[in-house]
Amino acid sequence: MKCTRCRAKAEVHLRAHNAAFCRACFVLVFRRQVERAIAAEHMFTREERVLVAVSGGKDSLALWDVLADLGYDTTGLYVGLGIGTYSDRSHEKVVAFARARGLPLRVVDLDATGPGLAVPAVAAATRRAACAACGLMKRHYFDVAAFEGGFPVLATGHNLDDEAARLLGNVLAWRRDHLARQQPVLPPTHPRFVRKVKPLYLVSEYETAVYAFMRGIDYIVEECPNAAGATQLAYKAALDRLEAASPGTKLRFVKEFLRSGRQAFVAPEEQPPQACVRCGMPSYGPTCAFCRLLDEVERRRAAAASA
């Protein structure tokens, strides 16, 4: 098989695009896909500082690599979740990546924060699903780090597979508010929020894995141990079967929703969030969801200690 672009021997075949590429052309095409997404959605400019949320996985590190290589002013943000050796190894991958490229990195360790907020401990104390506690805390610390660091933009490594699975889940449950907010750029709705963007939203997980391999990016391969049995993985598996039967299904699903479907779910402008009385971050009640989680953790730990 020959490279669609230069006719050299191809190393990767992209069935969704009916194209094949050699290593040099694939890396170039991948970067151009990201550049086009940034430009088409007006995600950010070269004058803006971008905080890139990195987990140690292929998607976030591939995104950071692309943005830095394209000359954007980027800083990495790693939130240590306290999930045993998985978090230790993830942290090592991120630090090694940043050092090798001379890129600035900020680290937040949840196990050393507040009353000790490692995800397993919080999940056990509150009897919540680990993924639910994890998502809430990560969003809070992403928002705080971006605001306090003076970054106008927060970029995450959500790829096409993530977006398609999320869309499928939201459609199956008809979560109208979630569908209204599913877009590659979320503008801030409060002075303490920053613009949130997903430059890889049209790039498949397979493509990011190939890019990471071709660029020699060392990333953590295994899934988070808490992800076992997650509904999102079931949605991804279903979409993988559809993609195998009809290449391009995921791309059409997401692009057509954004082009002609999402607007049907956008409600009239809601009341903007107020400030949490505890932490000052945006909230739709007197206290934000994160501070309510802290209260619950402290209350349950106190009860357990006095029992």
pLDDT-based confidence at residue 166 (cuts at 50, 70, 90) = very high
The ranges assigned to domains in the chain are 37-272
Give the pLDDT of residue 128: 81
Q: How far is it, in rounded angstroms, from Cα 44 to Cα 96?
A: 27
If DSSP codes are grouped into helix, strand and coil, which group holds residue 140?
helix
Q: Encode burial over 90-107: b for 16+ CB neighbours within 10 A, e otherwise.
A: bbebbeebbeeeebebbe
- CA-nearest of 9, 30, 68, 77 to 200 is 30
pLDDT band for position 247 (50/70/90)? very high
User: For residue 138, what are the CA distances in angstroms to 55, 110, 119, 190?
Assistant: 11, 9, 10, 18
Whole-angstrom distance, CA of residue 151 vs CA of residue 75: 9
Specify the pLDDT at position 219: 97
Could you tell me if 276 and 283 are in contact, meaning their C-beta atoms sit under 8 angstroms apart? yes
Q: Is the pLDDT score of 137 beyond 70?
A: yes
pLDDT recorded at residue 114 = 66
Whole-number average pLDDT of the chain = 93
Q: Token pair 């195998």 is at which residue?
A: 244
Instruction: Name the burial class of residue 87, with classes exposed (0-12), middle (13-18) and buried (19+) by CB atoms within 10 angstroms of its CB.
Output: buried
Tell me, what's the pLDDT at 304? 81
Average pLDDT over residues 63-81: 97
DSSP 8-state symbol, 282: E
Which strands, in side-by-side order, build the sheet including 105-109? 105-109, 73-80, 49-53, 153-155, 195-197, 185-186
Q: How confident is the model at residue 291 (pLDDT cuts 50, 70, 90)?
A: very high
| Cβ–Cβ < 8 Å for 33, 202 | yes
Percent of the chain topping pLDDT 70? 98
Task: Pick the most confident of 59-68, 104-113, 123-132.
Answer: 59-68
263: number of CA atoms within 13 Å, CB side?
4
Residue 173 above 90 pLDDT?
yes
What does the CA dihedral 241, 244, 249, 254 come to, rounded to 10 degrees? 60
Query: Which of 4, 65, 52, 37 is CA-nearest to residue 208?
Result: 65
Q: Which two tokens stand for residue 239?
A: 């979409």
What pLDDT, on a 0 to 100 scale, did the predictor assign at position 198? 98
Architecture per CATH, 37-272: 3-Layer(aba) Sandwich (3.40)
Distance in angstroms (rounded) separating the CA atoms of residues 202 and 185: 13
Smallest Cα–Cα separation from 254: which of 242, 245, 267, 272? 242
3-state secondary structure string, 77-117? EEEECCCHHHHHHHHHHHHHHHHHHCCCEEEEEHHHCCCCC
